[in-house]
Amino acid sequence: MLAGAHETDLMIEHLTGKARPAKTSGSVANSPELEQQLLRLGRALRRITYPHYTNEAAAIDGAGFWELALLQEHGPLRPSDLANILSLDISTVSRQLKQLEINGLVTRKVHEQDARAYLIMISEAGEQVLDEIIKLRQRTISEVVSEWPKSDVKTLVELIKRLTCGIEKEMGPKSPS
């Protein structure tokens, strides 16, 4: 269950030993620095994921990684559901899924309630590739923060959760229909 703003403030105060300052002013929140740092983080995470993998993992790109992760999280989905979650055009997702299927990382089956439709599911090979990539990301991030105080790591996790929940609340979470 997600904590409310007050509970989050208390948690941050507890984790850091400091009371959280008053709300961020619009000028600070609207500054390009936050967006720039989030973009840099996204690029850094891509560098962790894609240049260091086995031949099987080389069969996916950034989009393929997210599609595999969503299929692992939600189970079999229609391509249109994946497109909705990823906020992408169905033709883009279909093209990406075709490549994942050619590489043996996903399979398709006829939808039980609608024989005209099909569901995409992650294959055993896809599970292994996704696991390899996630473990690499976890190892790399763990190495980066290994010298940080534990309280800083906990605070980072809580702030990322808070940012994610705020964005989901603002934009509405995307999930299978």
Rounded to whole angstroms, the Cα distance separating 159 from 100 reads: 34
The CATH number linked to 107 is 1.10.10.10
Distances in Å between the Cα of 117 and the Cα atoms of 16, 49, 77, 144 are 51, 32, 10, 45
Report if residue 121 sits inside a domain.
Answer: yes
Packed helices 5-16 and 150-171: angle between N→C axes, nearest 10 degrees: 160
Give me the number of domains the chain comprises.
Answer: 1
pLDDT digits 0-9 by tens, 39-83:
999 888 877 765 555 555 555 777 788 899 999 999 999 999 999
- Would the pLDDT of 2 be above 50? no
- Would the pLDDT of 3 be above 50? no
Report if residue 35 sits inside a domain.
Answer: no
Q: Measure the CA dihedral 61/71/83/36, to 10°.
A: -50
pLDDT digits 0-9 by tens, 136-174:
889 999 999 999 999 999 999 999 999 989 988 888 756
Here the tokens at position 38 are: 């989030």
Report if residue 165 sits inside a domain.
Answer: yes
| Confidence grade of residue 89 (pLDDT, cut at 50, 70, 90) | very high
Rounded to whole angstroms, the Cα distance separating 82 from 129 reads: 19
Report if residue 2 sits inside a domain.
Answer: no
Report if residue 42 sits inside a domain.
Answer: no
- pLDDT mean over 84-102: 91
Report if residue 3 sits inside a domain.
Answer: no
pLDDT digits 0-9 by tens, 101-150:
998 999 999 888 888 889 999 999 999 989 988 888 899 999 999 999 99
pTM for this prediction: 0.70
Count of CB atoms situated within 10 Å of the CB of 75: 11
- pLDDT mean over 26-35: 74
Domain that holds residue 130: 58-177
Report if residue 25 sits inside a domain.
Answer: no
Which of the two residues, 46 and 35, has the higher pLDDT score? Answer: 35
Report if residue 132 sits inside a domain.
Answer: yes
Rounded to whole angstroms, the Cα distance separating 16 from 21 reads: 12
